[in-house]
Amino acid sequence: MRLVPWLGALARFDVPIADVERLRFLADGAYDLVDELPRGPARAAAWNAYVLQTYADKLLVANRATHRVRSETAAVTETLYRLAAAWVARARLLAAGAADDAAPAPPGPLPHWHTPYRCQEDLAGMRETLEALRIYLAYDLQRFPLDEEELPRLRAALDAVDAKLETAHGLWVPRAPAELRGGIGAALAAGLDGAYELGRELARLT
């Protein structure tokens, strides 16, 4: 499937949300695979897919009322969906023993925005994503018997995610000015990065 054709030509304009939404089916199984696999490299790859798919879906849901998304949001969402699909494929290969964990993998970090100020809808999608990941991680920490030396460090990592989420909640106001939206976006982006990495580590623990 080629890149959505409007990305270069319509850089300044909004994009119909339906044009982006059709990509959400590329990563079939992204939501279920992480809980189906034992802890290890395959589960870590599945966690990556879960985060990416969740992030993209939440962005679209937050923008659905307008029926359109900004061009940068469309580009980021497309990247998220395509990376989710790549990580689902890698998780399945690793689970089947058909891939080496040391072999080249899809890019690891979460895609970042190119501009510092997010619209209110994008911020809502980011916040909903971080809240969902935070709930998953808290539950995962509770259900896995961790070494007493490891547990404080992992809990501290979750506390750091909580702190970024609390910062975003503290700054949140309807129709926030650009400077405030910049601070909210920075806190949410840092929280998402922290949640992404913590989940990858938990997925690999045995």
Tell me the C-alpha distance between 122 and 159, whole Å.
24
Give the pLDDT of the chain (206 residues) as one tens digit per residue. 444 544 443 444 588 999 999 999 999 899 999 999 999 999 999 999 999 999 999 999 999 988 888 999 999 999 999 999 999 999 999 999 987 776 666 776 788 888 888 999 999 999 999 999 999 999 998 887 766 678 888 999 999 999 999 999 999 998 889 999 999 999 999 999 999 999 999 999 87
pTM: 0.89
Tell me the C-alpha distance between 37 and 171, whole Å.
38
